[in-house]
Structure 1
């Protein structure tokens, strides 16, 4: 870990509510990682923004009789509120339509052009005679020429992850008509000239996922295609010298990682550019945008002479399905984040999504019954049980005061050793981005101390009772700090029941393995941390969801 870090995640499109599929692969892992880094003394900042430009937003705004600016402002505010309710702790949540980003995008374009990486070319563009407009990107659907998947967008195949050079059997996504082809002039980025430096960067960066690197390198070996960065619409960042056209969204949106971070850092009185180039850079994404983040993004930074460093980490995870079916807003098969949080605490969802989400591109599945089982048996039956029995017993037997330990027997020594090694074992897993394994390690630690408490039988008031209570309470103290990155609200509740003041997030990570809960310390009030998820309620949720 470097002493500085900037964390970003794929920008939410300002065209609808955040759902569970969004947060599972990107925002939640990024938030957990940011909290972990801060606990380890890293000056870490989590930066994000709404992705404001593009044809879908323009059309949606027209339907609602709003200006595009009004439309995206609404969703920027709503998305931030939903993220905040889920305890996603952005240091800045900005927007791609900000004046800072518009200025930066045009600066990057001018520099790329000056460096010989931009050229103009007359092209044939799909045009809908029925709707009287050119059809960029997601307004043309057809067959992917690479994997033959049907109903794919012209700018991205969601099945194989590649960007089609030309979609097969094209249809207008607005009206379904077969579009004609008309001439227009666009700017292109010479992506194919960056094959060698991109391959070299992939080879040298050992922090990137090996499986992702391998198939991106295969794409490079197969031959890259120059990238059309112009769109014939009115809503976007205007092209310098040709204000009638705008940049393609994937040209400007990831530049907001940099422009938003620089604004935030400069506003803090720091040198934003120097900070960026001296920090670890993380970009958390889902597997559907690998092509953009492993090819377009680094090539553009290379094209401006690496003025801003390339990412050190691009943690990439799979998609979330619901009840084993693909999430689809158009088919109303999704769960909105806001709706979910009306029924269950944010930490329940954070626990479930982290625990089922490996560091891989494998898809994961949200299942209502599995959610209920994991919360009740793991979060409540294991972790909640340890907190309640260890602290509740101390309250009942020792009037809430931590007793002084006596001589340790072998079991006590083993228990203390578990605490002493806990921080380093967890840290290694989180640094490797195995967040699911790290959370499992917390639960294994809790299960061990439940067994330790049961083995020592302190309720019999025999020799070693005080030692058992002392070590069990300190294990809860360790869990409170370790849990903060994953379940911040529950972590703070445990902290307060331990009788500690302030916010647990301010405690350094190494405190996890230090027995800082001393004899004579007075606990706070002890109440259950979690409440059961009832089967009847889950049945209602499933019925409501499946009839949406």
Structure 2
């Protein structure tokens, strides 16, 4: 066998331990085998160059070298109580940088033996801790073992690449930031707390009849997630609830199309949605469904309370009925000739050709979309919510809530347009089998209308999350503020119908505080369309190979807050290369690499004088001014502006390094100033890791790992929290450059039939 032995790069305590184990073992058991640190080899390994044999776990490497040295390969598989102790308790202490619980009484070694696998493993694991003790505190066995030539030589070899201070004088674990600056973690159920800021966050429940596209994602769940992560990073007591909306005509009809039961259809799309949101790193506290017993129980209870209070009435409706599959048709499932432009495939709610809104009874030669049979009009008695009776109280609430909660402009405009027209009774039942049953005997064959039922889903999903504690969130307006996120199409159901429903029960509901809505996200100048293969849908984003952080950043940067915005592949690539990579990635990579190269990853322990930095007060003032703006914009739920300011702080960090000319010359000729620059620079990066966390949580995690620091709370003021003597870890690449050639490839793949036809025509012209 011809072996190669590779050490583990990096300067963490665990790396030192792993390298020491295999270096000592190879020197003792196989002296001809020399330890290498290959630039292409990220992790340690023992490899046979001639075969495919390979070991990567340090203890396994030590045991294997020992077994081939004494020609007893069976010893490789033998168990040892001392090694089990090292692999459990001592290893745990190494990972957590906490050696207080190590029990030396469990280590019973009477005689030093350089060829003992147990002793090599134990000594190497204990070295970072015991070497810091006074000599009279060190176990006699440990002191004697350290004098073995192969051991002492390898201690010098391993620690020569990492300053001894890292092992002896510097806390190599996470920095303990000042009280109040670390992000809190929540164990168990999240509930409102008296005297704290309690934020309840929902995003519009996605409907389960298709894969969500980027417009759906940015308009609801991503926007809500950004704000939820902001709240959690401010240590607000916040709960983020969402789930799939599963009842209604569209579900029942699509189930007929796919020849499955409605529940099977919902289960299929629930998983599709869950997988998409998981990949996009949407951090729901609970993602549920509306097809639950809790939904039935709470929705029926609200319905009966409205009936008891006199806010329900009955009316007869004329609807189109399909005699072929024996079901009433939703407007979109009626097709025919448009009476205005005579397009033959107009839908009952709108004509795709001329854009006019339609009534299904207007269509010429109407047909059922499912089976092409001719629908017939039928009368059916239904229950209506008496919005006209609730209008005075609703108006009073809208005026107060929209001002106090600072609703988005389009939310106020759409709500006021409904109120200005005067509210009318609204039908809240349907002739379907798939839905929450109407709890009245005379309407037992009907179900609740999905737009009456679905908003109650927020409550039932919370109830499925916290059982009887859901009322602490939903019937606690004195202590809870409700923030809701959605596209503008959903506004009236959340500012008129749902609040009227809550008010009509006469109970003390937590009503909407802030409503954040978006306009439309267009795709390359047109509309997203699954049927026409136009646009990027949730699963396509994952298939692109571009990380979620980049997608989250781009979508946040073009969030259609006040007007429609456009998804552009060229802009997508440009923002990755010229903003994420050149701005944020460059700042973090440049500084972390410099500190590792020049300072062995340690902020100098000497007293650093930041006043040596030219313009020190100016940079602190600039960052604090930007930070104040950031917090103000995020509190107002101006998410796009918040991201712009976060990147402006990153740009100011790059400017700071340029102004102070951080390079080899500064390190050699002005070491005290260089020390101050890296101290301030690392703390700027630490601040940036916090303020980008709502947008790019994975990037924040990477930066925290590099800085060897806990997740930082978004502060009100920039402070120096990483102090002298703190160790950081090696650099990681946050972002990768995207080849501009990908633009044409992606545009062709997701441009639909039109793009493919256009390419054919262009090809013909060239010929």
Length-normalised TM-score, structure 2: 0.66
Unmatched tracts of structure 1, length 5 or more: none
CA RMSD in angstroms, aligned pairs only: 2.9
| Corresponding position: 1:106 with 2:324 | no
The count of residues paired between Structure 1 and Structure 2 equals: 539
Do the aligned residues in 2 keep the contact of 1:232 with 1:244 (CA within 8 Å)? yes
1:527 Cα deviation from its structure 2 partner = 2.4
Matches within 5 A, 1:5-404: 5-129=199-323, 131-140=325-334, 151=346, 154=349, 168-169=362-363, 171=366, 172-174=368-370, 179-205=375-401, 206=403, 207-240=406-439, 241=441, 242-266=443-467, 271-275=472-476, 278-342=479-543, 343-360=545-562, 362-403=563-604, 404=608
Quote the Cα distance in structure 2 between the aligned partners of 1:338 and 1:93.
18
Quote the Cα distance in structure 1 between the aligned partners of 2:400 and 2:198.
21
Quote the Cα distance in structure 2 between the aligned partners of 1:331 and 1:356.
24
Quote the Cα distance in structure 1 between the aligned partners of 2:595 and 2:726.
11
Which sits farther off after the overlay, 473-482 or 126-135? 126-135
Do the aligned residues in 2 keep the contact of 1:266 with 1:272 (CA within 8 Å)? no
Of 643, 646, 657 in structure 2, the residue corresponding to residue 453 of structure 1 is 657
Length-normalised TM-score, structure 1: 0.91
Which position in structure 2 is the counterpart of 1:485? 694
Which position in structure 2 is the counterpart of 1:531? 736
1:334 Cα deviation from its structure 2 partner = 2.6
1:212 Cα deviation from its structure 2 partner = 3.1
Do the aligned residues in 1 keep the contact of 2:463 with 2:470 (CA within 8 Å)? no
Of 697, 705, 718 in structure 2, the residue corresponding to residue 513 of structure 1 is 718
Quote the Cα distance in structure 2 between the aligned partners of 1:348 and 1:391.
21
Quote the Cα distance in structure 1 between the aligned partners of 2:609 and 2:335.
70
Q: In 2 relative to 1, CA 97–512 (structure 1 residues): closer, same or farther, beyond 3 Å?
A: farther
Do the aligned residues in 1 keep the contact of 2:587 with 2:654 (CA within 8 Å)? yes
1:133 Cα deviation from its structure 2 partner = 2.7
Quote the Cα distance in structure 2 between the aligned partners of 1:3 and 1:132.
52
1:157 Cα deviation from its structure 2 partner = 10
Quote the Cα distance in structure 1 between the aligned partners of 2:633 and 2:242.
25
Superposed CA offset, 1:333-392 (max 9, x none) = 1312122122210010100011111532x1111110000001100010111010011211
Structure with the bigger RCO (C-alpha within 8 Å, sep 6+) is: 1
Equivalent position SS for 1:417: helix
1:81 Cα deviation from its structure 2 partner = 1.7
Which position in structure 1 is the counterpart of 2:159? none
| Corresponding position: 1:424 with 2:628 | yes
Do the aligned residues in 1 keep the contact of 2:592 with 2:730 (CA within 8 Å)? no
Q: In 2 relative to 1, CA 136–59 (structure 1 residues): closer, same or farther, beyond 3 Å?
A: closer
Quote the Cα distance in structure 2 between the aligned partners of 1:438 and 1:137.
40
Equivalent position SS for 1:7: strand
Equivalent position SS for 1:290: helix
1:57 Cα deviation from its structure 2 partner = 1.5
Equivalent position SS for 1:315: strand
Which sits farther off after the overlay, 507-516 or 386-395? 507-516
Do the aligned residues in 2 keep the contact of 1:368 with 1:542 (CA within 8 Å)? yes
